[in-house]
Amino acid sequence: MPTLLDTIGLDLHKRETQVCILTADGELIERRIATTRARFTEVLGNRPRARILLEASTESEWVARHLESLGHEVIVADPSYAPMYATRSRRVKTDKRDARTLAEACRLGAYRAIHRVSDAQRHVRSELAVRDALVRTRTRYVALIKARVRSEGLRLPQGEPERTVAKLDALGELPSATRAELTPLLTLLEPINAAITTADRQIAALVASDPIVMLLTTAPTIGPVTAAAFVATLDDVTRFPSADHVTAYLGLVPSEHSSGERQHRGRITKTGNTRMRWLLVEAGWRILRSTNPDVAGLKAWGEAIAARRGKRVAVVALARKLAAILYAMWRDNVPYRPATPRVAGVAA
């Protein structure tokens, strides 16, 4: 007869964690501890192997890895899975009750485990997040500079944001007081541009070393950043049985509110990774504006949708189509093959 394991629920927070232990003998043990490796080791390190359930959060991965190093079985669960909270009262919510609920869900198996990203792709995700933060910061600075220039009746030429300082220097008629006001932002732009260039080099090196990322860059409008982000977001292509599951995972499918005979579909769900969804939407815009013959088929498909439902709907449809194409390329390990333009019978 197999040995029964203790079940443990952790209501994890940034500074403190509520611990609820249900022993195999029926004993209930509750503790509130600091969310540190030392305290987890002190409280759970000497206990027999247990099954531990905690919700996915910012801290969940390092906590799970540490508890696994102590010999426990750890499940990181989807916090949006309603059956996990079936035993919790809706009227009273406390950390102690939440920890008890998680421990009971662990005992009953009433949870939905999330996919835990591999070490390699966790590193890639971090690099992409840092680059994204740098680009967004530069975008805010450049927007403010352009707005201040426009307030003087002038305009900066369109083009690469990294050339903002040079374009500003070319405006000889810009008042000296305005230039002095913008000096702090201009001073910060140089190191930000250098940091983004370094991040782009690191991503380019990743593309060269990862055959899957290299493969995905053969798709139209898919550059190294989008390809690397797609691989890092999905992590393991075999966990998705179809392209529909991928597009749903990325939040690119319509929401639905149906009851009885009434069916209503709304905007996309926007679940999943926001950055990946934004990158695919940007790629969709590039397809609509492209003159590359390799994207003629996709562009014609998107233009047909745009004619019926508008460009924004068409771009989201193209993002969804690109996600399905990238999934199929990765799954079948084949490069992109341009499709023949075809618009008849198109569906958004």
Both 91 and 62 in one domain: the answer is yes
The 10 Å Cβ neighbour count of residue 29 is: 14
Q: Rounded to an integer, what distance in angstroms lies between the CA atom of residue 278 and that of residue 322?
A: 12
Residue among 60, 81, 80, 73 nearest 107 (CA): 73
Do 224 and 306 fall within a single domain? yes
Phi, psi of 273 (to 5 degrees): -75, 115
Residues 37 and 99 in one domain: yes
Domain with 309, as residue range(s), is: 214-332
Q: How many CB atoms lie within 10 A of CB 337?
A: 10
Domain annotation covers residue 114: no
Q: For the segment 100-136, what is each residue's pLDDT rounded down to a tens digit?
A: 999 999 999 999 999 999 888 988 989 999 999 999 9
Residue 133 sits in the same domain as residue 147: yes
Q: Are residues 74 and 178 in the same domain?
A: no
Rounded to 5 degrees, what angle do the CA atoms 66, 107, 75 make?
A: 30
Same domain, 191 and 167: yes
Task: Mark whether 181 and 251 lie in a shared domain.
Answer: no
Nearest CA-CA partner of 35 in 8, 67, 5, 6: 67
pLDDT tens digits along 153-169: 999 988 889 999 898 88
The DSSP symbol for 131 reads: H
- pLDDT, residue 257, reads 56
Q: In this predicted structure, what is the pLDDT of residue 347?
A: 46
Question: Is the same domain home to 243 and 168?
Answer: no
Domain count, the chain: 3
Answer whether residue 139 is part of any domain.
yes
The CB density around residue 278, as the number of other CB atoms within 10 Å, is: 14
Residue that is last in its domain, among 65, 87, 108: 108
DSSP 6: E
pTM above 0.85, yes or no: no
In a domain, 186, yes or no: yes
Average pLDDT over residues 334-339: 86
Centroid of chain to Cα 71: 30
Whether 229 and 128 share a structural domain: no
218 and 324, same structural domain? yes
Give the residue carrying structure tokens 């409008």. Answer: 221
Q: Evaluate whether 9 touches 97 at the Cβ level (below 8 Å).
A: no
Q: Given 60, 87, 108, which residue is the final one in a domain?
A: 108
Residue 317, pLDDT score? 94
Asked which of 184, 209, 234 is the last residue of a domain, the reply is: 209
Whether residue 250 contacts residue 278, with contact meaning beta carbons closer than 8 Å, is answered with: no
Residue 147 domain-assigned? yes
Does residue 64 lie in a domain region? Answer: yes
User: Looking at residue 12, what is its pLDDT?
Assistant: 95
What does the block give as tokens for 311? 């460009």
Q: Are residues 306 and 282 in the same domain?
A: yes
Q: What is the CA radius of gyration of the chain?
A: 26
Does some domain include residue 346?
A: no
| In-domain check, residue 340 | no
77 shares a domain with 19? yes
Which range has highest mean pLDDT (3-7, 157-161, 328-332)? 328-332
Q: Token pair of 109, please?
A: 């198996």
What CATH number corresponds to the domain at position 20?
Answer: 3.30.420.140
Query: What mean pLDDT value characterizes the chain?
Result: 89
* Least confident among 84-98, 207-221, 279-293: 84-98
* Domain membership flag for residue 341: no
| Residue 181 predicted with pLDDT over 90 | yes
Is residue 265 classed as helix, strand or coil in its secondary structure? strand
What does the pLDDT look like over 265-307, one tens digit per residue?
Answer: 667 777 788 999 999 999 999 999 999 888 999 999 999 999 9
Residues 6+ apart with CB under 8 A from 29: 19, 20, 21, 23
